[in-house]
Structure 1
Amino acid sequence: MARSLVLSDDDLHALADGALLDRTAELIRERNRIDAELIRTIRVADARQACEHDGLKTMPSWLRNHARLLAAAAAELVRSGRALEHLPALEAAFAAGDVTAEQVAAVAPIARDEHRVAAAEQDVDLAEIDAALTAIAASQPHQVLGQAVGRYLAMLDQDGPEPDPTEGRRLAITQHTDGSITGRFDLDAVGGEKLRTALESVVQAGRCAGDERTRHQQQADALVQLCDNQLAAGTLPTLRGYKPQVIVKIGVGDLAGPGVGPGAADLGFGATISAARARWIACDGNITRIVMGPDGMPLEYGRSVRLVPPHVRRAAEVRDGWCVFAGCGAPTFWCDVHHLLEWVNGGETNLENSALLCERHHTKVHHGFRVERQPDGRWRTWRPDGSEILIGPRLDAAA
């Protein structure tokens, strides 16, 4: 029997790299064994309805309330326990620490009632499938196991109707008090492939020198950039006769003032942002003047005026060619036209006072960074502390 790892308060920084990796592997193995025993116990408690002892109807509800687990995690533990009753090879490998709880959850669908019935009708030996998938789980990456399970389930239903991929699609968005949003989504394989392909194209095109963003941050920025591109293209469906656009409502004093002005502006979906953020959005947007009366009713409103007319933007695109922030080079259609001297402070909307900046670097320029065009046409970038960002020559310039 493999030895059990003794937990201690030893100084891990004193261990050699190899010893640290060995310890990590041992801990994972021990965790697998504990997870296996936990799921085995849950399975028996579920079968006996032990949760009634505490006045609850189901084991998932007991796990949510007494163990403070998320609903999805609680349900998965119960599903895995029920599945392992029909998968002895996988259960043995789990108990030995050779497979993880995540791998068990990936294999569990083959033990659902409808799939076991289909296997029996087609003379499929579930024990052989159990052994084969257990061997894959113990030796192959998790993705390979998921593919094998998918192929097996597809084989069971070769002549079945093609499912509607849209039935399982879900997108839930929650807006928080500060205006930020979180959410989750579920997509079918084709929908997921489309999303990942679109995001990856933006991620790879937007890589620049000194990029320290995590992969998650890169993908989130790419999603926002996709929205920017679609809104700017003007091809989205109209909403009550108007093209969709980001709406910002702010008092003229806050917009023209130099302060950050927290909570000074309201967005169309109810979020509140600072005056500084509103000025950033207004850099390359439409401005509509509305005079409000003392009772909060509009007294006068003027027509919307595009701050940056098309001919100025086109000239900036031809002159600059890409985002001018040092090391970036994002394409022109990702960029806003930034006023070097803010228009609310008297800056003119002309080519000399304009700079193409992608969303990420436009944000940075509104938070202390600075770009400046030299007489010879080169752009230079400074950090908030006054130091200049220096990079080597552009690779495409040397081609």
Structure 2
Amino acid sequence: ECEVSGAAEVDGLKSMGSWLRGHGHLSTAEAARVVRTGRALQHLPGMTAAFAAGAVTAEQAGLIARVTEPEQLARAAEQGVDLGAVDTVLTDIARERPHADTATAVHHYLDRLDADGPEPDPTEGRRLVIARHADGSITGRFDLDAVGGERLQAALEAVQAGRCAGDERTRAQQLADALVQLADNALASGQLPTLRGHKPQVIVKIGIGDLAGPQVGRGAAETGFGATISAARARWIACDGAVTRIVMGPDGVPLDVGRSVRLVPPHLRRAAEVRDGGCVFAGCGAPTHWCDVHHLIAWINGGETSLDNAALLCERHHTKVHHGFRVERQPDGRWRTWRPDGTEILIGPQRTGPPLTTAA
């Protein structure tokens, strides 16, 4: 109901999926499942009742929901398919049979629904999902068509072709190292597209004392994507990298370039990325390389091109603040966001009723 009414737009977000991620603190996968299942419930009353009764799991409901995607509903209507009968059959299978049988039945139905259609573009099924953990490490999964998979395997084999006879790494370790080396080679070549006017690069933020000292310094440095690493690891990265000094004061890089410059120079953008870490609009998780540097007080209205007058905003929310929304940085460093009507956008569950009480 929120999606149909456009409720997410009230808080400046594009979809219910993005609202659930930012305001409801759901993961990307869970938010997508909730939205997909919610859309399906209005078309499948049998599954809705079974789901509400606990006879069908949320995972099964999300799987069956595929039959109500717009293109599938259109094909069913063209062929005169009784969606009620499909609802009954799939719900009964989900209620009585293992999850794998539900998946098989759904795939069988969709294949039969488009049996005479053109062969789909195999690249449309490509997916890459990366999840970052609290310690900065990442895990993920990907789906590639046969040709895309062949290209990736050929590249990985080429990178690790020169391994020595005494290499004791497992096959999985070899492939992981080869994937990192592919990324290193691409970044070092300088041929990748630029991000917001800068060449893509690995960014590490660390205090000068930790960088110069000999200690391990666990958790002393932070990468551009938000991972926390040790000072020793940061020094290792700095061996063949450029070191840029950012000083929040009059003795270092002049962050306040005054009224003479309207466009944000590289050193000021770098400082804003270090301070903000991504889009500052409430509920948004866009990383720094998606963001513009916004003048809180417009340059044309006397606003300076300075760190104090800057905020990182993704393209969507940069547009929003130029159409009535407002962001403001508090003295403690927190950002707050207001709607055009003056009400503040608050994140997380909000209890509006009377305080809960417990019986004596």
* TM-score class, shorter: 0.3 to 0.5
- Normalising to structure 1: TM-score of the pair? 0.39
**Computing the radius of gyration over CA atoms, which structure comes out larger, 1 or 2?**
1
Choose between structure 1 and 2: higher helix proportion: 1
- Normalising to structure 2: TM-score of the pair? 0.42
